A and B are shown apart, each in its own frame.
Chain A
Amino acid sequence: MKISLNWIREFVEVKASPQEIADRLTLAGLEIEKVEDQGRGLDKVVTATILKRDKHPNADRLSLCEVRVGSQIHSIVCGADNMKAGDRIALALPGAVLPNGMAIQETVIRKVKSGGMLCSEKELGLKEESQGILILSQEIPEGLPLAQALKLEDVFFEVNVTPNRGDCLSVLGLAREVAASFKVNLKVPNIGGFSKALPESLPVKVLNEASELCPRYTCRILRGVKVAPSPEWVQRRLESCGIRAINNVVDATNYVLLERGQPQHAFDLSQIRKSQIVIRKAKAGEKMKTLDALERNLNADDLVIADGERILAIAGVMGGEDSGVEASTKDLLLESACFAPEAVRKTSKRLGLQTESSYRFERGVDPNGCRIALDRLAELILEWAGGEVLQEAADSYPTPLKPIELTLRSERLEKVLGEKFSFSQIQEYLRPLGIDCREGKAGPWNCIAPTFRPDLTREIDLVEEVARIHGYNKIPTTFPKLALDEIPPSSEHPIEGIYRILAAWGFCGVMNYSFSSPSLLKKFYSEIPPDLCLMNPISEELSVMRPSLLPSLTKNLRDNYYWGNKALKLFEIAPVFSPGKSLKDKRGESLRLCLGMLGPRRGLHFQEKPEKADLLDLKGYLQAIFGPQISFFELSQGEKASYWHPKRCLGLKLDGHPAGVLGELHPGLAGEMDLNDPVALAEINLDLFLTESKNKIQFKDISPFPSIERDLNLILAEGTSHGDVLKVLGEMKDPWIRKIELFDLYRGAPLPEGKKALTYRIEYGDAERTLTDAEVNQARERLLSLLNQKLGATLR
Chain B
Amino acid sequence: MKDSLLNSLEALQQDFQNILPQMTDEIRLQEIKAQFLGKKGRLTEVLKEMGRLSGEERPQVGAKANEVKNFIEGRVDEALQRLKSDSLNKALSQDLFDATLPGRPELRGHIHPVHQTLVMVRNIFEKLGFQTHYGPEIEDDYHNFEALNIPVHHPARDLQDTFYLQGKDWLLRTHTSTVQIHVMENQKPPFRMIAPGTVYRSDSDVTHTPMFHQIEGLWIDQDTSFGDLKGVLSLFVKQMFGSTIEVRFRPSYFPFTEPSAELDMTCLFCRGQAKACPVCKSTGWIEVLGCGMVDPEVFRFVKYDPEKYSGFAFGIGIERLAMLKFGINDLRKFFENDVRFLRQF
Contacts and interface: CB of A to CB of B under 8 A. Distances in A.
B178 to A, nearest CB: 12
A480 B219 contact: yes
A33 B211 CA distance: 25
B250 interface: yes
Interface string B141-164: 000000000000111101100011
A565 interface: yes
A342 B155 CA distance: 9
Interface string A392-403: 000000000000
A594 interface: no
Contact of B112 (A363, A509, A560, A565): A509
B228 A480 contact: yes
B216 interface: no
B337 A560 contact: yes
Contact of A568 (B172, B210, B223, B339): B339
A475, A533, A589: residue with the most chain B Cβ atoms closer than 10 Å: A475
Contacts of A567: 107
B225 to A, nearest CB: 3
Given A506-B109, A560-B338, A587-B136, A163 B156 contact: yes
A509 B338 contact: no
B226 interface: yes
A418 B226 contact: yes
Given A475-B226, A503-B110, A556-B337, A535 B164 contact: yes
Interface in A347-367: 362-363
A28 B251 contact: yes
B75 to A, nearest CB: 47
Judged by DSSP, the binding face of B is mixed
A528 to B, nearest CB: 11
A461 B172 CA distance: 30
Contacts of A560: 337-339
B310 interface: yes
B40 interface: no
Interface stretch (A120-128, A272-280, A486-494, A771-779): A486-494
Interface string B294-323: 011000000000000010000000000000
A751 interface: no
B72 interface: no
A34 to B, nearest CB: 8
Given A468-B259, A514-B137, A514-B211, A418 B225 contact: yes
A563 B227 contact: no
B105 A464 contact: no
B109 A569 contact: yes
Contact of A475 (B130, B209, B230, B343): B230
A300 interface: no
Interface in A393-443: 415-419
A365 to B, nearest CB: 13
Given A418-B226, A514-B137, A605-B102, A569 B107 contact: yes
Nearest to A162: B253
Interface string A531-573: 1111111110010010000000000100110010101111000
A512 B336 CA distance: 8
Interface stretch (B9-17, B62-70, B78-86, B196-204): B196-204
Contacts of B334: 511
Contacts, number: 244
B231 A477 contact: yes
Contacts of B232: 479-480
Contact of A605 (B104, B128, B132): B104
A488 B129 contact: yes
Interface in B112-146: 112, 114-115, 119, 126, 128-132, 136-139
Nearest to A419: B227
A533 B114 CA distance: 26
A602 B138 CA distance: 39
B26 interface: no
Nearest to A166: B155
Given A163-B156, A467-B251, A509 B110 contact: yes
B249 interface: yes
A606 B221 CA distance: 64
Contact of B163 (A504, A536, A569): A536
Contact of B109 (A27, A458, A503, A512): A503
Contacts of B154: 163
A14 interface: no
Nearest to B112: A509
A463 interface: yes
A478 B235 CA distance: 11
Interface residues of A, number: 94
B137 A575 contact: yes
B342 A508 contact: yes
A302 to B, nearest CB: 14
A419 B227 CA distance: 8
Interface string A162-204: 1111000000000000000000000000000000000000000
Contacts of A504: 108-109
Nearest to B231: A479
Contacts of A563: 338, 340
A428 to B, nearest CB: 18
Contacts of B126: 490-491
A629 interface: no
B112 A559 contact: no
A141 to B, nearest CB: 37
A675 B139 CA distance: 38
A583 B166 CA distance: 12
A480 B168 CA distance: 42
A94 interface: no
Given A163-B155, A342-B153, A569-B109, A479 B131 contact: no
A603 B106 contact: yes
Contacts of B200: 514
A513 B211 contact: yes
B286 interface: no
B110 A478 contact: no
Contacts of A486: 129, 190
A477 B235 CA distance: 10
Contacts of A587: 136-139, 170
A588 B251 contact: no
A539 B209 CA distance: 12
A499 interface: yes
Given A415-B225, A535-B168, A510 B342 contact: yes
Contact of B210 (A342, A468, A515): A515
A500 B116 CA distance: 11
B230 A538 contact: no
B119 A26 contact: no
B137 A416 contact: no
B102 A478 contact: no
A472 B155 CA distance: 25
Contacts of B130: 488
B165 A531 contact: yes
A504 B109 CA distance: 6
B252 interface: yes
Contacts of A488: 129-131, 191-192
Given A545-B138, A559-B336, A574-B198, 10 more contacts: A163-B155, A472-B248, A478-B225, A491-B131, A499-B115, A505-B109, A508-B112, A514-B200, A563-B338, A603-B107
Interface of A: 26-29, 31, 34, 162-165, 341-342, 345-346, 362-363, 415-419, 458, 460-461, 463-464, 467-468, 472-473, 475-480, 482, 486-488, 490-491, 493, 496, 499-500, 502-515, 530-539, 542, 545, 556, 559-560, 563, 565, 567-570, 574-575, 577, 583-584, 587-589, 602-606
Give me the 10 closest cross-chain CB pairs, A-B, nearest first: A506-B107, A603-B105, A29-B251, A418-B227, A418-B225, A162-B253, A503-B109, A478-B227, A472-B249, A464-B259
20 contacts: A28-B251, A31-B252, A341-B155, A345-B155, A418-B228, A460-B293, A468-B251, A472-B230, A473-B248, A477-B230, A477-B231, A479-B235, A480-B224, A493-B132, A508-B343, A509-B342, A534-B164, A560-B338, A589-B137, A604-B105
